[in-house]
Amino acid sequence: MLVGLHVSIAGSIDRAVDNAVTTGCTAFQIFTRNPRGWAAKPLASKDVTSFKEKLAASKIDRLSTVAHMPYLPNLSSPEEDPFARSVGSLIDEIKRCSKLGIPYIVAHLGSHKGEGDAKGIEMLVKAFTKAAAETSDDVMILLENTAGQKNSVGSDLDQLASILFQLKPAKRFGICFDTCHAFAAGYDMRTEKEAKSTLEKLDKAIGYEHLKILHLNDSKGELGCNLDRHEHIGLGHIGEKGLGYVIKTINRKKIPIILETPIDERRDDVGNLNKAKELA
């Protein structure tokens, strides 16, 4: 089973591998730098070498590692300067992933700032096309479905598919599907039947061959709430039955599963990882 956590890089980026191994991950996700700012220190060559050596010595396949874009970039922005800065950040992240040997970068689709879906999608296509043209083809950009927040695009699976299939070259792009976001956007997964129906919609619109990473999260919000608030596996409004079906289905297809669950007095990362394995 390819399953793991978003792990910390505190101290140095190679410690992410230590953290993944210690917690029993067979896949993992990182930020390559501080996700809350624009500035990023260049990756030290010794840290890059150590990251690769530790990963090679572990039982974690390199193809089950993924990085996530920082929080500030807005690739749908209609405003010239924020858009240019956001595209620059995406290009930099792809280059950092390439140095580390990480094959995937997950990108949030951003906000059109009230200019409408068509404008947001136009800017997204422009951003992703430029990023692909200016980076090497050893890193795939994954578009993540959104929770349907105001001014966001990509919460509807057909719309997400329409964005994906506009992008060229096609081999540079794929999908990261987040269960919490989908549920918040109105895709029910509370029972096996409903989870099956949602995954069938995903397959019909996008195709499993384009799904490269699953973000496995329960939802603090109710169905269709449009709130991006993650909950412990099985303790939110989706629950164990539906998430169990999702895990089994995605596991059969050998797609890496990444948890982005909270840590509090009820459960920690290892507790959620164990719960996901139990449901599998």
pLDDT of residue 155: 97
Residue 250 domain boundaries: 3-279
Give the C-alpha separation, 183 to 255, whole Å.
Answer: 20
Name the band, by pLDDT with cuts 50, 70 and 90, for residue 248: very high
pLDDT of residue 142: 98
Strand partners, 142: 106, 174
CATH number at residue 169: 3.20.20.150
Residue (of 174, 177, 184, 183) closest to 139 by Cα position: 174
**pLDDT tens digit string along 44-95?**
999 999 999 999 999 999 999 999 999 999 999 999 999 999 999 999 999 9
Mean pLDDT for the stretch of residues 144-151? 97
Kindly list the distances between the CA atom of residue 116 and the CA atoms of 17, 123, 154, 200, 257, in Å, as whole numbers in the listed order.
Answer: 41, 11, 12, 28, 32
Strand partners, 204: none
Give the C-alpha separation, 18 to 16, whole Å.
Answer: 5
Helix 80-100 with 117-133: angle, nearest 10 deg: 40
pLDDT of residue 32: 98
**pLDDT tens digit string along 34-54?**
999 998 999 999 999 999 999
Strand partners, 66: 29
Kindly list the distances between the CA atom of residue 69 and the CA atoms of 29, 31, 80, 151, 270, in Å, as whole numbers in the listed order.
Answer: 11, 7, 20, 19, 24
pTM for the complete prediction?
A: 0.97
Kindly list the distances between the CA atom of residue 23 and the CA atoms of 32, 55, 61, 181, in Å, as whole numbers in the listed order.
Answer: 19, 14, 16, 25
Kindly list the distances between the CA atom of residue 28 and the CA atoms of 50, 127, 176, in Å, as whole numbers in the listed order.
Answer: 17, 26, 14
Mean pLDDT for the stretch of residues 132-151? 97
The number of domains in the chain is 1
Name the band, by pLDDT with cuts 50, 70 and 90, for residue 252: very high
Name the band, by pLDDT with cuts 50, 70 and 90, for residue 10: very high
**pLDDT tens digit string along 195-235?**
999 999 999 999 999 999 999 999 999 999 999 999 999 99
CB atoms within 10 A of CB 78: 17
**pLDDT tens digit string along 112-134?**
999 999 999 999 999 999 999 99
pLDDT of residue 93: 98
pLDDT of residue 124: 97
**pLDDT tens digit string along 167-187?**
999 999 999 999 999 999 999
Residues 39-46: contacts with CB under 8 Å, at least 24 apart: 40/92, 40/96, 43/13, 43/96, 43/99, 43/100, 44/12
What six digits make up the tokens of 156?
A: 């509807």
pLDDT of residue 164: 98
